[in-house]
Structure 1
């Protein structure tokens, strides 16, 4: 774990979190760097709803991306960044405004290409699952 990396600078309060994470109401609860697992929660606002009153799928996809990405970011060194190359989301059930629980996992990390997975739950029910591919870049 590199305390000079962006993720850990943010966790230590030395730099602000990304505005997208704030918008989504991201709260990181636990990070296991060795296993590549991150647990978080989001607060889905009424402003995120579609005409049926459910959280619009794009917000759910963003929450999953903002769970899997930080799971990998926690393993990166200073000067490294890992943008998402591909994001695949399956919506399993509607989500309502309120808290959602998320788990992001680094499934396989190569020299540059990484494979990630994520889950989003609400009230014990699986809402959406995702896989993603990210590439490690050096700034």
Structure 2
């Protein structure tokens, strides 16, 4: 079971740089019935302030009560990167319409890696067994009796 909602109020502001001007703000409060209302705002990458207010309650869930008339827009850098990625992707698709097929050289290296991984795994298991045997050999009979007795805490 979840504990009953507790009334709360909080607010904060933060910036992108230490000791810089805040570029995002949050204010939120909740009541004992589980109703939460708040506002958050931020400075978007295009240097436009965006503000959203909301109410969330057990009956209706999360509802925006105020929202900036804003649809995200790509910055010039993002648009350039997206177009460059699309062009490179198209080059790859048109150059080789077949799915990737491993060459014999890649298959050999993959098999070698799997074999080495298994050898190392077995070595680690042997080392762990040796260390456990050493630990047990170095324990005193008193310690072994203490560890095996359920009445010692």
Fold in common (TM above 0.5): no
Which has more radius of gyration?
A: 2
TM-score (normalizing by structure 1): 0.24
TM-score (normalizing by structure 2): 0.23
By percentage of residues, which structure has more strand? 1
By percentage of residues, which structure has more helix? 2
